[in-house]
């Protein structure tokens, strides 16, 4: 069966074969993310937004960096500018932090269950596929290389009607997602399984709250949320 490839993603792949990679963080030749720019992910910190421990919904929300400077350039290049070669270094950054954070944990058999936050279907199509699914896959692969079993469970999706959240405030983002977060039991682990939600940017926390609420309604326990960057 033929696999469809969007022209934007195909064009990006051809360019990557012809031209040497440039770091999306600083422009240096040689790698999608150079050694120096990789260091921006070395200080995960708790974020006081999104689902809360007090509400019994989720463990601590962590971000690897603030959404500014090099981290912002890397995320935007990956998410909006077709730099899918960043999935591996960004996934490795998540994998390097996750096992050492307080809260997130594997299941009783030692398996880490990773759930990527969903994108709007139209946005995913324009990007050549879900960038967060690719990110979670690279995170799982890096954990596997380190001797940890990790499984990606793309259990969430956004129903039609959700619009681009850029420019929306906290209340508008919550209203935009209300009733539109869907849990797919056939893509989820068994009820009661502890899992970790992954995302690229935490702004108001509305997406994380909606994701955790949908997972909780399905009997799944989100032990933590890990994002690449947090605004503010």
Question: Is pLDDT at 5 greater than 90 in this prediction?
Answer: no
pLDDT at 106 over 80: yes
The residue that leads in pLDDT, 45 or 48, is 45
What does the mean pLDDT of the chain come to? 83
Question: What's the pLDDT score for residue 24?
Answer: 97
pTM here is 0.83
Task: Provide the CB-side half-sphere exposure for 176 (13 A, CA).
Answer: 18
Q: What are the backbone dihedrals phi and psi of residue 222, each rounded to the nearest 5 degrees, phi first?
A: -85, 110
List pLDDT tens digits, range 113-134: 999 999 876 666 777 778 999 9
Residue 42: the pLDDT is 83
Q: At 66, which helix (H) or strand (E)?
A: strand 61-66
Which residue did the predictor score with more confidence, 128 or 73? 73
Q: Which two tokens stand for residue 127?
A: 């990007």
| Interior angle at CA 174, CA 169 and CA 176, nearest 5 | 90
Higher pLDDT, 23 or 13: 23
Q: Are strands 112-116 and 150-152 parallel, antiparallel or unpaired?
A: parallel
Task: With CA atoms as reference, report the closest residue to 89 among 146, 142, 159, 167.
Answer: 142
pLDDT band at 54 (very low <50, low <70, confident <90, very high): very low
Give the Cα separation of 196 and 113 in Å (integer). Answer: 6
* pLDDT of 139 higher than 50: yes
Residue 59 has pLDDT above 50, yes or no: yes
Assess whether pLDDT exceeds 80 at residue 51: no
Distances (CA, A) of 102 to 18, 154, 196: 43, 24, 12
Question: Is pLDDT above 70 for 66?
Answer: yes
Q: What is the mean pLDDT of residues 28-45?
A: 93
User: What token pair was written down for 110?
Assistant: 């030692």
- How far apart CA 91 and CA 96 sit, in angstroms, is 9
Burial class (CB in 10 A: 0-12, 13-18, 19+), 52: middle
Q: Dihedral of the CA atoms 155, 159, 164, 170 (nearest 10)? A: -80
Domain covering 37-230 in this structure, CATH number = 3.40.50
Beta strand ranges found along 98-232 (DSSP E): 112-116, 150-152, 156-158, 181-183, 194-202, 221-230
DSSP codes of every residue in 14-59? HHHHHSPPB-TTT--BTSSS-HHHHGGGS--EE-SSSS-TTTTSBS
Residue 53 has pLDDT above 70, yes or no: no
Give the pLDDT of residue 179: 60
Would you tell me how many other CB atoms lie within 10 Å of the CB of residue 194? Answer: 20
pLDDT by residue (tens digit) across 197-210?
Answer: 999 999 888 888 88
In sign, the C-alpha dihedral spanning 121, 126, 127, 129 is positive
Buried b / exposed e over 86-105, threshold 16 CB at 10 Å, is bbbbbbbbbbbbbeebebbb
């Amino acid at each position: 069966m033929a696999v469809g490839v969007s022209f934007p993603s195909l064009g990006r792949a051809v360019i990557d074969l012809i031209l040497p990679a440039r770091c999306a963080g600083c422009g240096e030749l040689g790698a999608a993310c150079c050694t120096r720019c990789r260091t921006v992910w070395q200080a995960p910190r708790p974020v006081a937004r999104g689902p809360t421990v007090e509400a019994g919904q989720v463990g601590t929300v962590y971000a690897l960096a603030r959404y500014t400077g090099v981290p912002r350039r890397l995320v935007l290049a990956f998410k909006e500018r077709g730099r899918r070669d960043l999935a591996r270094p960004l996934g490795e950054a998540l994998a390097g932090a996750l096992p050492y954070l307080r809260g997130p944990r594997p299941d009783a058999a030692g398996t880490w269950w990773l759930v990527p936050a969903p994108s709007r279907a139209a946005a995913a199509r324009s990007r050549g596929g879900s960038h967060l699914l690719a990110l979670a896959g690279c995170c799982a692969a890096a954990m596997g290389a380190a001797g940890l079993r990790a499984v990606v469970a793309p259990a969430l999706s956004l129903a039609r009607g959700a619009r681009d959240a850029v420019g929306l405030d906290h209340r508008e983002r919550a209203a935009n997602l209300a009733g539109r977060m869907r849990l797919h039991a056939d893509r989820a682990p068994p009820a009661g399984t502890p899992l970790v939600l992954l995302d690229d940017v935490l702004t108001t926390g509305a997406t994380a709250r909606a994701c955790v609420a949908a997972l909780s309604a399905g009997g799944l326990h989100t032990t933590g949320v890990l994002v690449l960057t947090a605004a503010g």
